[in-house]
Structure 1
């Protein structure tokens, strides 16, 4: 596992190793499993970039089933597939698996041992001679995320053959359901466990931080407070109360917290999906502020991250000349400075894309709880090759959940844990407000019959 910060060259390190292994006949057929956009663009771009790898022939196992099978029947050194099609590939070959070397680009996407992609990889693992995992975020939530990734390296030799064994040895319950004590919401490391885990895997893992190896320009984090119009502020508070008060007396589980949080973040950004999946516009405060930011950028290109589809629709309506990141040409034109405003979803550009040549200004229109996606998205510009200080603007609607999300990101709190605690805390605040207003009503003798 190369657990190496973004921009330190995981791809070229791996490609250099592949050329050596192919030349010495240590491997014959190499498979890369990557996020879709990385599979489409990045590996081909990286191969062509370096003289010593330019001879490598790449086949992309992408598109329809017919296109994928055609690619498989093409003679190449390296075959690249998006991770969503890995299960199909394993079924296609069965016991006749031909790839003796597999590279998992962004191996943290295999952290869930119950996922189909992990199970598919585990099925063919005995048929693979060499496996390499690449990630800048090996444990995005906690060190529990390491188990599945290391299992694919050594079949359980270092951290145990099951997650239960690993968890029991190195973790203890931190929070659990009061009504169902056997359901644990969060695990914490036992004292000294982190050092033991690192020692167990140090012979198969390399870790490097960019700050220790590169002279990088500064990354400036700027919070732009966005005051909501009075009508929008009142509407947000009323909708928040209506949304959360029904959970005041019950336990909020992860899925519920995520739904509630998503609705609050939508409202803070200016629009909301209603029960019929229609978009209800609430305010344009962030759009107006973004317009000011773009103007103050003095014609420097601006990269905007959004989260919801209605964010994208509203952004396109306000800025008709804005472009989305859809094709290789979009990436090339951005890096040539030919695109002034680029609209990108962080999940689609979170890994592997090199956009640093095109600009140095980022704006987060709507925020995310995912620290991994947040850091990976910022690293599209703040990476090796960037010549200017990167400015990361965050549009934070005052008096909304945006402030809580921003605080969690600044403190590098882990997504789901921070989300759960924030939603529960806000529900408790609203519950106390309701109780106090009820008491005031009784004391003032204004209670209706």
Structure 2
């Protein structure tokens, strides 16, 4: 009976769910520049492809008007592939066009080529999922078909031009050409064999694989399931895997000559058995080779082991009636926010209604009790098998019903409702990071409409009118409306637009819209806190775009000390906007006594450190709503995000410790780990990138290149001397002293890579002593010849002067310099001069002083003379030139000394950016102080062959 239940699984041609259409990957035979799914255009009036065998045994593809018609896209792909040779053509035909209706000659040659691909799958060592991604694998040798097979193939060849030249030797030559083409395409792909073949057609991933098949057997009450292990040897003409019972493999691969094939086939089974005791027993007893009758408990045990089996490389196939390969699951479902809350803000109270559903149908209390009493993971309910996790169902149901009781008594707090909606019901409790197929919270009508407006804002409702002396771009109008909606709900908003997309004008427009909608009524003032270097920028932008706003800068650069001391709440009452710096905020406690309408933090990454005094001062401010402006909401770690949200919407992400536990639990998830967190914060973060053409289509391109530099012999000697000193010192230090030593030595190595004079302090700064100066001259001479402008960033203030002097000689004209000691009042003048004076060819800036808040679109070249080991900070600096208003393409040169710590840190930077991309965007700073001595010395080691110029 078990065998009967599995008949549909093992019958030849049984559907595997694999695509039977064209290849989903790039064609190895595609013409240069062709992209998947977009084959080269073909003149169909000339006819269709036709295969021709030449007297020399080469297979060609001609276009003939008498050739049988075929699919246009396939015709273009095949013509392009065969244009590269017999091997690439056969690869495209045999691997990428399986399952497609083709003329007889193409079908015959496809069968021949597919024979090689299928044999390749059987010869290839089985890689567990994920192992294939480590890099390309060697191509296993596939023996030629024996002479009898080749002779039979020659006799069965269809009518085609040149058929008389078809011999066994020609087939051997074609087999070799195909193998060569596969080897070349595999090497070019940079992937492993399985990934390469799967890209050509997903069905190839099933050939040469063991399949564990589970089927329902309703006619057997005691054993309602059947199990059979099968394997696949080839694809059918319809690109479907053909299955045979695994026991057949013992007979097919009998004998010493086929031992390697059998071992390769069974490796995944052995690997899976190592983690599944029940499977190990089946293998030891030989039961794996026979159909089996299974109880519901045995089927449940099988379900629980599916992840381990798939990781081992076994393909698992479930009953066809089960959706997405799993039985149905009962869900604890809830609806939140059917009606508008009684009050606004995070404390707003929402309704909450709970049910348990199966396929969208509500279960009765009796059915729920039946599921909770299930002794194993499967239960028969309403005529279908249901997957049950009684413990999880009971825990989730109790949690949701507790929330429902709270909502019925007094209403569910908005923050808690949003956590539930995002699947993050209790920040910090790993047990509540619930999978959406076990529990689901949906938004009711009011909340659904609110979230829709926040996630896809429509700018039609936020027009500042003539009060704004400028024109908002469409995405900026959307941003103003989004800010208006959130502030109207008294919720915090993080406007995280990419640098240069106009966060300032969006905030000013919001203030104008709010004043307009107040219709003459008195409004509380707003407070803007920004770095001191940006205060003049805000004043200039207000004067330019919103001169009607009553704004005042409360800062020593714009206000006498006695007025600052005498500043009182009454002084702010008549203002639309009060502007101050983070430092002044600490020195003026009166600002914390005023009830502000809005508090806006510019460059809000300034509060990423929760324990910093300025962070605590900002979070203590009183406001109806709060806005954070930052292009890097996740600069170094997810803790940055928590700190910003602790200012915007306190409690939404729990406490710092709870959030840390919660993110650790998320990181352990195998699929979409940060999905719940992303959903939780998404309504409050608006992130647009200027590289997104849907946001802004008229910004030119930005190209980033590594400018590799060599060390001078003097640099190399100093570098080697520093390494010897570091190695000796590491043996004698530990703890805080060790960290300080490492940081000092790293700074010294950076300085030496820039120029020996920076470390020695001898004021020499000879060009011959620094490979970076030589490289900078090469770039600057080209920029000067084109009469273009450049920005040069360095993290060291002491380097700005020598760089400016050096570049002045190269350009033949002086440039400008800005660093931390440049007066705030002068910065605006310097920026204006660089933007408007054509005789100023370059601007040297220290990274911290000039890396934010400045618009320097006159430059089309950006040089990072030394690297700040945080890509987010570097990107901010680059964005001084690559922002709205830029009309030219921007070329970014990142200087890296070959064979030194700079080259290795550069590689680490490139691999470091994954964490924040998983949630938002940004990068993390590299930390070397926690490395072992051995690992640290490897990072800073000097490779003289790479470092010194020949």
Calculate the TM-score normalised by the size of structure 1.
Answer: 0.81
Is residue 4 of structure 1 aligned with residue 4 of structure 2?
A: no
The aligned residue for residue 49 of structure 2 is: none
- The answer to whether residue 723 in structure 2 is matched with residue 240 in structure 1 is yes
Aligned residue among 913, 917, 938 for 1:429: 938
Q: What's the CA shift for 1:49? A: 3.5
Give the root-mean-square deviation of aligned CA atoms. Answer: 3.0
Structure 2 match to 1:32: 528
Partner in structure 2 of residue 210 of structure 1:
690
1:405 aligns with 2:905: yes
Deviation at 1:242, TM superposition (A): 1.4
1:205-232 residue CA offsets vs partner (Å, 9 max, x unmatched): 2222222212232211122222222232
Contact 1:61/1:81, CA 8 A, preserved across alignment: yes
The alpha carbon displacement at 1:322 in A equals 2.6
Q: Which residue of 1 aligns with 2:663?
A: 170
Does 2:756 align with 1:260?
no
The corresponding residue for 1:150 is 645
Q: Distance in 2 between matches of 1:217 and 1:304?
A: 20
Paired residue secondary structure (1:394): strand
Aligned position for 2:512: 19
The answer as to whether partners of 1:364 and 1:394 remain within 8 angstroms in 2 is yes
* Residue aligning to 1:224: 707
CA apart distance, 1:400: 1.9
What is the CA–CA distance in structure 1 between the aligned matches of 2:929 and 2:656, rounded to whole Å? 23
Match of 1:159 among 641, 653, 678: 653
Instruction: Tell me the SS of whatever aligns to 2:893.
Output: strand
Partners of 1:123 and 1:405 in 2: CA distance: 39
Question: What corresponds to 2:779 in structure 1?
Answer: 293
Q: Is the 8 A contact 2:791 2:862 kept in 1?
A: yes
The one-character-per-residue Cα deviations of 1:178-205 (angstroms, maximum 9, x if unpaired) are xxxxxxxxxx834255211122222322
Superposition pairs for residues 121-160 of structure 1, below 5 Å? 121-124=618-621, 127-156=622-651, 158-160=652-654
- Aligned counterparts of 2:496 and 2:729: Cα–Cα separation in 1: 43
Residues 140 and 425 of structure 1: is their aligned pair in 2 closer, same or farther, counting only changes over 3 Å?
farther
Q: Secondary structure of 1:40's partner?
A: helix
- Residue 879 (structure 2) aligns with: 379
Greater gyration radius: 2
Match of 2:849 among 315, 335, 348: 348
Cα deviation, residue 264, structure 1: 1.2
User: Where does residue 175 of structure 1 map in the other structure?
Assistant: none
Residue 703 of structure 2 aligns to a residue whose secondary structure is strand
Name the structure 1 match of 2:323: none
- Find the aligned partners of 2:924 and 2:536 in 1 and give their Cα distance: 28
| CA distance in structure 2 between the partners assigned to 1:384 and 1:377 by the alignment | 15
Name the CA shift for 1:309/1:6 in 2 (closer, same or farther; >3 Å). closer
How far the C-alpha of 1:365 sits from its partner, in A, is 1.2
What's the offset of the Cα at 1:340? 1.0
Contact 1:245 1:430 in 2 (8 A): no
Q: Deviations over 1:244-287 (max 9, x none)?
A: 44225866776554333222111100146669x88796933322
**SS of residue paired to 1:222:** strand
Distance in 2 (alpha carbons) for counterparts of 1:104 and 1:98: 16
CA-to-partner distance for each residue in 1:298-333, whole Å, 9 max, x for gaps? 231111001113212322343452311342111111
Partner Cα distance (2:512, 2:611) in 1: 34
Given that residues 709 and 772 in structure 2 are in contact (C-alpha distance below 8 angstroms), is that contact kept between their aligned partners in structure 1?
A: yes
Quick check: 1:58–1:78 contact (8 Å CA) kept in 2? Answer: yes
Residue 40 of structure 1: how far off its partner (Å): 2.1
Partner of 2:528: helix, strand, or coil?
Answer: strand
Change in 2 beyond 3 A, CA 1:426/1:239? farther
Secondary structure at 2:894 match in 1: strand
Task: Give the whole-Å Cα distance in 1 for the aligned partners of 2:564 and 2:758.
Answer: 37
- Paired with 1:227 and 1:167, the residues of 2 have a C-alpha distance of 43
SS in 1 for 2:880: coil
Instruction: Give the secondary structure class of the aligned counterpart of 2:854.
Output: coil
Would you say the 8 A contact 2:790–2:862 is kept in 1?
Answer: yes
Deviation of 1:427 (Å)? 3.2
Counterpart Cα distance in 2 of 1:424 and 1:108: 32
Output aligned runs, 1:42-191, within 5 Å. 43-50=538-545, 53-63=546-556, 65-66=561-562, 68-69=564-565, 73=571, 76-89=575-588, 91-94=589-592, 96-124=593-621, 127-156=622-651, 158-160=652-654, 162-171=655-664, 189-191=667-669
Change (3 A) 1:343 1:136: same
1:167, CA displacement in angstroms? Answer: 0.7
Q: What is the alpha-carbon distance in structure 1 between the residues aligned to residue 762 and residue 613 of structure 2? A: 33
Instruction: Quickly say closer, same or farther: Cα 1:417–1:47, change in 2 above 3 A.
Output: same
Q: Do the aligned partners of 2:496 and 2:633 also contact (CA within 8 Å) in 1?
A: yes
Do the aligned partners of 2:791 and 2:845 also contact (CA within 8 Å) in 1? yes
| Aligned-partner Cα distance in 2 for 1:3–1:345 | 24
Name the CA distance, whole Å, in 2 between partners of 1:211 and 1:267. 36
Residue pairs, 1:278-427, within 5 angstroms: 283-297=769-783, 298=785, 299-319=787-807, 321-325=814-818, 326-338=826-838, 339-356=840-857, 358-413=858-913, 414-417=923-926, 419-420=928-929, 427=936
Separation in 1, partners of 2:562, 2:807: 39
SS at match of 2:881: coil
- CA–CA distance in 1 between the matches of 2:663 and 2:657? 10
Structure 1 residue runs of 5 or longer lacking an equivalent are 173-187, 434-449
Q: Which residue in the other structure is 1:444 paired with? A: none
Secondary structure of the corresponding residue to residue 882 of structure 2: coil
**Alignment partners' CA distance in 2, 1:69 and 1:46:** 27
Instruction: Flag the 1:262–1:71 CA change in 2: closer, same or farther, 3 A.
Output: farther
Kept after mapping to 1: 8 A contact 2:633/2:640:
yes
8 A contact 2:793–2:865 mirrored in 1: yes
- Paired residues of 2:715 and 2:756 also in contact (CA < 8 A): no
Greater relative CO, 1 or 2 (CA 8 Å, sep 6+)? 1
For each residue in 1:366-405, what CA deviation from the matched residue of structure 2 results, as whole angstroms up to 9, or x when unmatched?
1110222101000111112211110111222222222123
Shift of 1:60: 1.6
Q: Matches of 2:933 and 2:534 in 1, distance apart?
A: 37
The alignment partner of 1:359 has SS state of coil
192-201 or 277-286, which moves further after superposition? 277-286
Contact 1:47 1:54 in 2 (8 A): yes
The TM-score, its normalising length taken from structure 2, stands at 0.40
Question: Once the 2 structures are TM-superposed, how far is the Cα of residue 415 of structure 1 from its aligned partner?
Answer: 4.2
Give the aligned partner of residue 177 of structure 1.
Answer: none
Contact kept in structure 1, 2:900 and 2:941, CA below 8 Å: no
Cα distance 1:22–1:241, how it changes in 2: closer, same or farther (>3 A)?
farther
Q: Distance in 2 between matches of 1:425 and 1:209?
A: 40
2:38 counterpart residue number:
none
Cα distance in 2, alignment partners of residues 246 and 281 from structure 1? 29
Q: Which residue of 1 aligns with 2:66?
A: none
Cα distance, 1:196–1:259 mapped onto 2, change above 3 Å: farther
Q: Which moved more, 1:63-72 or 1:385-394?
A: 63-72
Superposed displacement of residue 346, structure 1: 1.6
Deviation at 1:105, TM superposition (A): 0.7
